[in-house]
């Protein structure tokens, strides 16, 4: 007899997680609680309720987490300008700690013994879900069916459904994209299928959120983003909530062919993986945030942020959102954002995000000092001679000791 009486499952309503519900019931003889999160994936989540009921689930959670997702996870990450391996804007990675957090909250509310997820044993998501869960509830049990069962393919999953009369719409499933896709308000990703050949160019009809740069409008779109403490709060003068801001920027970016990425990345579990991503709103936000920081951040604070960023991004990618080191870094990053206020003007054109203006009441840009015209004594150019000689001192000493590069 299993010591698991109740499990909270991250449930999408799709084939894999529908099989998991029945598999958990049969394998562990336990009650299953389903949790479906709306984080802006662009699909109706309410149908998951009927599917869960048909599987005998009595406790069903369907939560709209869009505002929390952008406000408490996406925005803090963008205050850090986080990019993994120079390109990836971490759209899948940053959603996982929120889902893990809500799984644990529901486990506490329902008295569940365990949580479960549909991530495979080859991917990063199993690590992200479980590191998050253990950080929040150290004694929680985690059931990862893909690491336990003998169902190894889509065909075996379909056969399992037919044998047990699991309600899955087989006809619509056959028409689905050939790629494994994950979407939320920040991005949509594509993996598998032809993309497993890293030399294969994705078909144009694979992309869902953006037009190709070649087919984008010939007239640029100009927008103004208003920032407060490092967060975008207004678009063209209109105040928007975090989720509405990101959704609106996704539409504007996608319409102008912005945000496509084709990447071979290094997974935490050790393998390389090829994925394609669309992150239109995030691409705009990253460019705009760096622009407003360029006039409001002190030089050394900005440079220190840039040095911390790769470590911070790797922590998120690898699943350490709730780690003490991420929180320490976040505190430093957020401290730097107190004066990151103002407006950035951007031109969106055929896949490009071009900064064309920035202004702030907290700007450190001093035209009187920076000017190439007469500065009326604001800067004494003779001071540069001593500055250069002091900085050259160690180089001159080394050269005098025979260490010249010539």
Long-range CB contacts (within 8 A, 24+) of 150-156: 151/19, 151/23, 154/15
Known binding residue 125? Answer is: yes
Is 37 part of any known ligand binding site? yes
**Do the annotations mark residue 18 as ligand-binding?**
yes
Selected catalytic residue, list 66, 79, 96, 326? 96
Q: Does 125 participate in catalysis according to the annotation?
A: yes
Among residues 65, 68, 62, which one has the least CA distance to residue 46? 62
CB contact at 8 A, 97 and 241: no
Catalytic residue among 125, 135, 287, 360: 125
Q: Is 28 annotated as a binding residue?
A: no
Q: Is 120 annotated as a binding residue?
A: yes
Q: What is the DSSP letter of 203?
A: P
5 among the known binding-site residues? Answer: no
Query: Is 282 known to sit in a ligand binding site?
Result: no
Q: Is 17 labelled as part of a ligand binding site?
A: yes
294 appears as a binding residue in the annotation: no
Task: Collapse the DSSP code of 64 into the 3-class scheme (helix H, G, I; strand E, B; otherwise coil) and give the result.
Answer: strand
Alpha-carbon distance values, 44 to 36, 48, 166 (Å): 11, 8, 20
Half-sphere exposure (CA, 13 Å, Cβ side) for 171?
0
For helices 154-164 and 15-28, the axis angle rounded to 10 degrees is 60
Question: Is 116 annotated in some ligand binding site?
Answer: no
Taking the C-alpha atoms of residue 353 and residue 222, their distance in angstroms, rounded to an integer, is: 10
Pseudo-torsion of CA 50, 55, 59, 64, nearest 10°?
-40
Query: Is 180 part of the annotated catalytic residue set?
Result: yes
Q: Which of 49, 71, 180, 294 is catalytic?
A: 180
Calpha distance 390→129 (Å, rounded): 52
How many helices (H) and strands (E) the chain has is answered by: 14, 14
* Annotated binding-site residue? 249: no
Residues 6+ apart with CB under 8 A from 166: 18, 19, 22, 55, 160
Q: Is 377 annotated as a binding residue?
A: no
Q: Is 386 annotated as a binding residue?
A: no
| Residue 93 annotated as binding site | yes
Known binding residue 38? Answer is no
Residue 239: both structure tokens together:
């105040």
Q: How far apart are CA 31 and CA 33, in angstroms?
A: 7
d(CA 19, CA 160) in angstroms, rounded, equals: 7
Is 16 a residue of the active site? yes
- 128 labeled part of a ligand binding site: yes
Ligand-binding annotation for 373, yes or no, is no
| Catalytic machinery residues | 16, 96, 125, 180
Residue set of the binding site for ATP: 10-18, 37, 118
Residue set of the binding site: 10-18, 37, 88, 93, 118, 120, 124-125, 128, 180, 189, 265, 277
Residue set of the binding site for L-aspartate: 120, 124-125
């Amino acid at each position: 007899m299993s010591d698991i009486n109740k499990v909270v499952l991250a449930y999408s309503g799709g084939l894999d997680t529908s099989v998991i519900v029945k598999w958990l019931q049969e394998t562990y003889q336990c009650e299953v609680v389903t949790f479906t999160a709306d984080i802006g994936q662009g699909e109706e989540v309410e149908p998951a309720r009927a599917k869960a009921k048909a599987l005998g689930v009595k406790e069903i959670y369907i939560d709209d987490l869009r505002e929390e997702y952008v406000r408490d996870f996406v925005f803090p990450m963008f205050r850090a300008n986080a990019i993994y391996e120079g390109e990836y804007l971490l759209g899948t990675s940053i959603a996982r700690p929120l889902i893990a957090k809500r799984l644990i909250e529901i486990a506490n509310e329902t008295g569940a013994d365990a949580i479960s997820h549909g991530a495979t044993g080859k991917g990063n998501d199993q690590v992200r879900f479980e590191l998050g869960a253990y950080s929040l509830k150290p004694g929680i049990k985690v059931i990862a069916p893909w690491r336990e069962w003998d169902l190894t393919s889509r065909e075996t999953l379909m056969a399992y459904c037919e044998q047990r009369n699991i309600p899955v719409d087989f006809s619509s499933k056959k028409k689905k994209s050939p790629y494994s896709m994950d979407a939320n308000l920040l991005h949509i990703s594509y993996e598998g299928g032809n993309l497993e050949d890293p030399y294969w160019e994705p078909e144009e009809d694979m992309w869902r959120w953006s037009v190709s740069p070649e087919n984008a409008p010939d007239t640029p779109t100009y927008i103004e983003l208003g920032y407060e403490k490092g967060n975008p709060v207004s678009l063209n003068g209109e105040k928007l909530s975090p989720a509405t801001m990101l959704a609106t920027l996704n539409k504007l970016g996608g319409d102008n062919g912005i945000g496509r990425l084709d990447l071979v990345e290094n997974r935490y579990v050790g393998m390389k993986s090829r994925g394609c991503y669309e992150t239109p709103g995030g691409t705009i936000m990253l460019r705009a945030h760096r622009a407003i920081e360029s006039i409001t951040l002190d030089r050394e604070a900005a440079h220190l942020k840039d040095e911390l960023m790769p470590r911070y991004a790797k922590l998120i990618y690898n699943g350490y959102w709730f780690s003490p080191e991420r929180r320490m870094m976040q505190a430093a990053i957020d401290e730097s954002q107190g004066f990151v206020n103002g407006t950035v003007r951007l031109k969106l054109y055929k896949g490009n995000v071009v900064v064309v203006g920035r202004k702030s009441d907290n700007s450190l840009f001093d035209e009187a000092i920076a000017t190439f015209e007469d500065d009326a004594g604001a800067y004494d150019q003779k001071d540069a001679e001593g500055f250069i000689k002091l900085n050259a001192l160690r180089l001159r000493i080394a050269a005098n000791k025979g260490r010249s590069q010539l």
